[in-house]
C-alpha cells in the first residue's frame, strides 16, 4: 500500500477539508473510479483505503472502520 499522507486525526474528523473535497467531487458528478484514483493520487493509500475515504465522505461508514483496517 502507498503511504497515506493524512493522519489518524484527519481520518477521525468527518468535517475535515479532505472529506469535503471528496464529497464535492462526487456531488459534481465525477465517476466513482475517477474519485478513487484522485484520492489515491492526492492522499495516498490503496484502493481499499480510497473506497473507505469515499464512503466516510458520504456518511456511509465511520472513520473507525478505516482506522481498524489500517491497524491490521
The pTM for the full model equals 0.95
Q: Residue-wise over 17-32: b if at least 16 C-beta within 10 A, else e? A: ebbeebbebeeeeeee
47-64: per-residue pLDDT in tens? 999 999 999 999 999 999
When pLDDT is averaged across residues 12-16 and rounded to a whole number, the result is: 98
Give the pLDDT band of residue 2 (cuts 50, 70, 90). confident
Signed CA dihedral, 72, 26, 9, 43: sign only: positive
HSE value, Cβ hemisphere, 13 Å, CA-based, for 49? 22
Give the pLDDT band of residue 1 (cuts 50, 70, 90). low
> What integer pLDDT is reported at residue 12 of this predicted model?
98
Amino acid at each position: 500500500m502507498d503511504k497515506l499522507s493524512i493522519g489518524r486525526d484527519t481520518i477521525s474528523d468527518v468535517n475535515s477539508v479532505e472529506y469535503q473535497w471528496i464529497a464535492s467531487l462526487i456531488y459534481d458528478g465525477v465517476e466513482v473510479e475517477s474519485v478513487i484514483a484522485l484520492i489515491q493520487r492526492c492522499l495516498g493509500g490503496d484502493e481499499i483505503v480510497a473506497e473507505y475515504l469515499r464512503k466516510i465522505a458520504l456518511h456511509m461508514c465511520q472513520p473507525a472502520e478505516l482506522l481498524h483496517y489500517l491497524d491490521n
